[in-house]
Amino acid sequence: MAPRRPIVVASKNGATALPAAMEILRRGGTALDAVEAAARIVEADPADTSVGRGGWPNILGTVEVDASIMDGATRRAGSVGAVRGYLHPISIARAVMERLPHVMLVGDGAMRFAREIGAERSRLLTPRTRGLWLDFLRQVRETPRSVLRRRELAPVVMRTVRLERKGTVNFIAIDRSGHMASAVSTSGWGYKYPGRLGDSPVIGAGNYCDERYGGACCTGFGELALRGLTAKTAVDRLAAGMPPEEVARAAIRDVNELDAPRPAAMNIVVLARDGGYASATNRRYTTLEKRERRRFSVMTSDMSEPLLLDRTLVR
C-alpha cells in the first residue's frame, strides 16, 4: 500500500489528545497505538466529566467505566464494561482483544482480568463529581445513605433521563500504512443504574471500524445507538458508497425516528478509508457557549494543532 497521510478524527473532548496521537502516527506508529494513547490521555484527565477519572458516577456514587477498541485491518475488537477502580479501560479492552479469545468482558470478570494484566488502579470519583452527585441526590430528596438502602433504584434513575449528564470520547485514525483503528471510552450515563452498559463497549453500536470502508463512533444517549446499531450501520453505508457527510446525516436521521425522551442527544463521527470525514448531531444548542459542545475535532499530519469543526445539525 502506498504511504498515506495520517489523520485522526475525534469528538470535541478528544482534541487535547490529538497532537499526541498524531506524533505517534508521524513517527510511523500504528493507528491502534494512536487511538489507544489518545483515549488514555482523556481517561486520565479529571476535568473531563464523561470519561475515566472524574467521570460521572452511577446512582450509588461509584464510577463504572466502559471502553472499546477495534482494529480496522483485522476487525478484531476488545471491550470492557462496568469496570470500577481502573484508570485506563481502553487498555484493558485492548488486552481483551490481544490476550483472550473473547471480545467483551464486564463487571467482576473484567476487573479480575484487569488485575491479571497489572492494569493501573485509580480512584475515579473526584471531589467535583462527588459534589455534583450529592447535588443531584439533594434535588431528588435522597442522601448517599438513603439511596444505598433503597429497595428500588429505578424511580430515582428515572429522574436522570433529562439531565445533560452524558458524554464519551471517540477516536478514529488512519496511519501511514493506511490501516485504521477506532477507540471509545466513557463513564456512561450520569447517575445510571449500576451495571448499565451503553453503546460505547458494544461493537457495532458505539464503535465500528473496517478499513475496507471506514469507521464510525458515537457519543450521546447510548441507548439509541444500541437500538439502531448506529456505528455498524454507518460503516455499511460507507461500504455501499455513500459519502461520509451523507452517512453521518443518515445515522442521525435514523436516531431521530426512535421514540425517546427529549433531550436525547446523539452525535456521530465518521472517517472513510480515503480520509474523508464528517460528523453530525441532533442537538440544537441555542447559546454560543453551548454551541461549542456541538463540535468535533480533526488533525492531519500537516497540521500543527487540531481543527475544531461544527457537527452538521440534523433535526
Q: Under the criterion CB under 6 A, does residue 168 sit at the interface with ligand GLY?
A: yes
CB of residue 228 vs ligand GLY: minimum separation in angstroms? Answer: 13
Please pick, from the candidates 72, 81, 188, 204, the single residue that binds ligand GLY as defined by CB under 6 A.
188
Tell me which residues in 21-80 interact with ligand GLY (CB under 6 A).
Answer: none
Q: Which is the catalytic residue, given 16, 49, 168, 281?
A: 168
**What is the radius of gyration, based on Cα positions, of the chain?**
18
CA-CA distance, 38 to 306, in Å (whole number)?
A: 13
Residue 115 CB contacts under 8 Å (≥ 6 apart), including other chains: none
Among 113, 133, 171, 189, binds ligand GLY (CB under 6 A): 189
- Does 14 engage in binding with ligand GLY (CB under 6 A)? no
Catalytic, 168? Answer: yes
| Residue 188 or 228 with smaller CB distance to ligand GLY | 188
Binding ligand GLY by CB under 6 A: which of 58, 91, 200, 230?
Answer: 200
Residue 24 or 157 having the CB closest to ligand GLY = 157
Applying CB under 6 A, the site for ligand GLY has a residue count of 12
Stretch that binds ligand GLY, among 25-33, 154-162, 181-189, 293-301 (CB under 6 A): 181-189
Residue 220 binds ligand GLY (CB under 6 A): yes
CB 194 within 8 A of CB 241: no
Active site residues: 168
Residues in contact with ligand GLY by the rule CB under 6 A: 166, 168, 186, 188-189, 198-200, 206, 219-220, 222
